[in-house]
Structure 1
Amino acid sequence: MNGPFSLPRRAPRKVTQPKVTLAHGGGGTAMRDLIEDVFLETFSGAGHAAPEDQARFDLSALAAQGDRLAFTTDAFVVDPLFFPGGDIGKLAVCGTINDLAVGGARPVALSCAVIIEEGLPLETLRAVVASMARTAAEAGVVIVTGDTKVVARGACDKLFLTTTGIGVVRTGLDVGIAKGRPGDVVLVNGLLGDHGAAILNARGDLALETPIESDCAPLHDLVATLIAAAPGIRMMRDATRGGVAAVLNELAEASGVGVRIRETDVPLRPEVNGFCEILGLDPLYLANEGKLVAVVPPEEAEAALAAVRAHLLGREAAIIGRLAAERPGRVVMETRFGGERIVDMLVGDQLPRIC
């Protein structure tokens, strides 16, 4: 997979082996078979343009959508590859779309680099690639270029993905982690910690009677709804590794404000709250893949909340706190028992390899 995802005019080659071998990364006919059969056929369908080593874009078409280009990249090493509510392919597409969206950008196109461990069943690879194509199509985003590498057994764990995305930032929008002001309101778009809980359960570390699904979802349409309702929005950030706690600490430090949140207002699924209590985990630090933290001016808070709750991905949205001039750089939680505690940054991660 090297260059734009488009098929040559002849019939695509086919892979006959049941598993990926080192030859599939060697640059010869086996590699061409893999790329054309698994990637090009899935990502571009009936495309006919000659494959190149890069994707090309019409600058005038991009400029018509906004006045700045957003660019991001992310790697995905989740274990297991498939989990309730998603898989590594869906995760890679949604994660990169969301990184663009929370900067106020309309996602346009993605690239994908794939590192495959020798011996990976071809059915597994096909399922992941199909999931990527389906997720991208549903989100209205195209996967336009990429690369494939195959490494020896033990050099990686089954399959690693790296996706890069470009998007166009809406004209006049200026959001950022340093834009928060005292009095601003902190909003989240739903139940927190579901992705971290789903991964933990999929690894067999829990035996929940009610399986928890990952919240993995592309947020760009929700973001557009939020921006329309709160044009003065200060900041958005998707709460992935480190959870909401990491986002709020970054906000407090960058904006030079204090952040005060209320434990009773933090939306949690009872199952997530329960297993966190059993295992000694803090749900504020659990990863999410379909949740964002937004900071809006106080006069726009109710309109923002109503608009987000009206969206499919925001029905459980809640205002969880405010920014304050006191205790700048600190995140303080008002507990359900009437006390206070500092919500600090973790040194590491409660759960490794969740994305």
Structure 2
Amino acid sequence: MRATLLLFIGYIVILLGCEQNEDTLPIIPDDLPDEQIGHDQSDDNGSITIGLSMDTLIEERWKKDRDMFKEAVEALGAQVIIKAANGNDALQVTQAETMISQGVDLLVLVPHNAEAAATIVGKAQMAEIPVISYDRLVKNANVDLYISFDNEQVGMLQAEWVTDLVPTGKYVYIGGAATDNNAHLMKEGVFSVLQPLIEQGDITVVYDQWTEAWTPVNAKRNMQAALEANYNDIDAVIAANDATAGGVIEALAEQGLAGKIPVAGQDAELAGIQRVYTGKQAMTVYKSIRELTEQAADIAVKMARGEQIETELTINNGKKDVPTVYLTPVPVHKDNIYETIIADGFHSETEIFVDDR
């Protein structure tokens, strides 16, 4: 019996010894929930390793964030580990815990849930690892720095553009995910523009709903409900991003209304820009992902090396005034695609200008 037990233990030890170190695993395809890009920290000779915990890679823009952030970090001589939870709060916590246990020097966090992600910040703090809140602010947590675009301004740009096109009438607002602080900020920006017009009686918001998980299918359901409730009598739609705008436009197309009712979006996703070019979408708001990733990478590496970062702005997240870096969004419409999206290399001319979109 003892010999059998010793043989079994020996077998387990051999198996454990043959396991791959997680840091040496190859890149996992985008459609899987857990992605890692990095190197074996045991061979890094003291170099900086940045962890990037992402909510999702389902939407096109987040793949650009991932790739450009990785490129920017490595250009600064540091390494990066990247994991994506694809909308699963528990998985994001687990992935972040793994990176913390691996000893990353700093964690960059794109939270799925602004409140739930506070757990991640707390665990990083216990390990004395600084945390940067990337693009979305983590609420009620001791975040070291927040970098994003002015999301209230995003909403204002959307509303200003649409109200210039349709100064009176019935409006629909299709928001983002209620769990995302950015969705709330954008809505505040939208309604800061709409409210005076509402009070004057020029505009009536006949439907206003959040979109669970930011998905086009949920946005489409919301828009179908808005059309049904108003017998298709709607004059304009403001959608929180291009993915939700795509769902909205699908619902409008089913009623023969695509291109007839102005729809605003944001993120300048390829499909969104194609719709802007063909007139199915009125505008989008471009947030330069390259500018965001390069600044975030620069700040992350500096902070990981112990440098102090001073900002002119702070944003209160419910727990503290978080040092904040805000970048400026840009409205994009059919007439300025060249000088914005194409000039910045975000999408190419051949990608955008296609037929039958």
TM-score band w.r.t. shorter chain? under 0.3
- Structure (1 or 2) with the greater strand fraction: 1
Structure of greater Rg = 2
TM-score (norm 1): 0.24
- Structure (1 or 2) with the greater helix fraction: 2
TM-score (norm 2): 0.24
